[in-house]
A and B are shown apart, each in its own frame.
Chain A
Amino acid sequence: MERDNEQTFWHKMLAIDRRILYSIIFVFVAYIVLFPIGLPVPISAHTENFYSTVEAIPEGGIIWLDCAFQEGSWGELGPMVEATMRHSFNNNIRVVLSAMWELGGRMAAFALDNVLEDPAYEWVEYGEDVINLGFRPGGAAAVLRGATRDVYETYAGVDHDGNPLDDYTLGMEVERLHPDYVDFSVVYESGSPGGQDWLQYVTEPTGLPMGIGIIAMSIPSAAAFVDAGQYEAMIPGGTGAAEYELLLDQPGEALAAQDVLSVGMLYVTLLIILGNIAWVATKDD
């Protein structure tokens, strides 16, 4: 009888309605968002290296950030873009934004708006300290190769909002995507086109050093290029973004998301274990 009851319990567990599973994760995440735990986040060597690389750009220099992602990856990559911009502005480094992905131009604009909302950066002047060139159609290969020769022509003489580059000092100063005009470049990548296209059409032909901000799932493939020295530095996933925020001492969206990430991962792990126990307990029936 006891055995029957046990089997019934595990059978019930195995057949649990998926809506219950969905509700539990929803409640967990909502609770953690409302009441963060503040788990400690250790700094990885990759993020520390990225921080040092940006730190080494001379004051008044120019960093070029490309958003090769869209909304789905905002949670991981958006905070990275914002943190890099904050870091650059803190060190008086000017920022050029662009996008290999069509929706990336909007992502760059969101990130810029978020940073400029901070009173600490009210001195930042659009066109002087930062410019968003947005997305240009034509395929990453053609656009990137074009930009290495002539930024103005490639971007049709306008920024993301369609305003003439002639009106902006920074827009006219960066004539080429080339080490003669830009000190460092970073691609925030969630797929293709991404870092490998940048490496092929910008970094290898011109020698402009590049870094990568990458979603957690793609860390191993990007790490191969970091090890080879082709990517100078990497921010590894959302956790890397949180580490970057910690290094800057400017907590933001990524750091806040770490508790949610932890609880989510713990929940998925528990489900894997529970699901397997239920399966083992019932597989002979």
Chain B
Amino acid sequence: MRKELPLLLTTVFGLIVVFSKWFYLGEVWGLHDIAESWVLISQGFAVAIGAASLTRIHGRNIQRRREDWPYSLVLLVCMYFYIILTLYQTVEGTEARWIYDAYITPVGSALFGTIAFYITSAAYRVFRVRTREATVLMIFAVVTMLGMAPIGDVMISGWGDLARWLQDVPVGAVTRGILIAGYIGALATGMRIVLGLERAHLGGFTGG
């Protein structure tokens, strides 16, 4: 029953969405809207489960003094402090917002900014023309990189146009192929889930 019930629910709700989208009665009965409301409620529970799971895992780290346990302590203190603060003054409260703006925003930007440094190191040490394919890749990368910045046209007139052509035509064609293949794959996976053939979401094994 532990597997059959989730499988049944998956199939029923999958069919509700299909029924609502492609059949007149489905649209009239508004089943999709009901299912969406349930998704919203489920997501609320998912956040609570996530918080409980984090507490359990990191609580154990602290209790057993596992490696890097002080980081677990920092995580739990920050999480519960912010939860209590926002319960008290809502997320729009002065202090709650200040912490968010003064910490999350600059840290997010700084973390992203550090990528620029890693790219320089990777470009120097990793990007090797070992094969013909790698050589073609490097030439395209250099043409595109310089062509998408103003310096390309300053160095050679028309470089920017060449880079844009590369993006619009060969890269665009490949991207479109990948997109179409991806959507066909998603459709096939969706059908397998609704039919109960794909069971990875029930505990890590694939049937059918």
Contact = CB atoms under 8 A, between A and B. Distances in A.
Main secondary structure of the interface of B (DSSP, over half): helix
B128 A276 contact: yes
A103 B92 contact: no
Nearest to B171: A220
A258 B149 contact: yes
Interface in A224-262: 224, 227, 237, 239, 258-259, 261-262
A227 B108 CA distance: 33
Contact of A72 (B108, B119, B175): B108
A269 B145 contact: yes
10 contacts: A40-B150, A40-B154, A71-B105, A72-B111, A72-B112, A103-B105, A138-B39, A258-B149, A268-B145, A272-B138
B190 to A, nearest CB: 14
Given A74-B109, A276-B128, A237 B148 contact: yes
Contact of B129 (A22, A141, A274, A276): A276
A21 interface: yes
Interface residues of B, number: 48
A33 interface: no
B150 A224 contact: no
Interface residues of A, number: 55
A71 B112 contact: yes
A124 interface: no
B101 A106 contact: yes
A224 B179 contact: yes
Contacts of A70: 108
Contacts of B145: 265, 268-269
Contacts of B43: 137-139
Interface string B141-152: 110011011110
Given A138-B40, A223-B167, A267-B120, A262 B151 contact: yes
Given A142-B39, A221-B175, A275 B128 contact: yes
A22 B120 contact: yes
B125 interface: yes
Nearest to B126: A275
A150 B1 CA distance: 40
Given A262-B151, A268-B120, A275-B123, A221 B40 contact: no
Nearest to A39: B150
B100 A262 contact: no
Interface of A: 16, 18, 21-22, 24-26, 29, 39-42, 44, 70-74, 103, 106, 137-139, 141-142, 145-146, 161-162, 216, 219-221, 223-224, 227, 237, 239, 258-259, 261-269, 271-272, 274-276, 279
A203 to B, nearest CB: 16
A264 B108 CA distance: 21
A141 B120 contact: no
A72 B160 contact: no
A227 B171 CA distance: 13
B136 interface: no
B187 interface: no
Interface in B53-67: none
Contacts of A25: 116-117, 120
Contact of B148 (A74, A216, A221, A263): A216
B2 interface: no
A14 B119 CA distance: 16
B125 A72 contact: no
A221 B179 contact: yes
A223 B169 CA distance: 10
A80 to B, nearest CB: 15
Contacts of B40: 137-139, 142
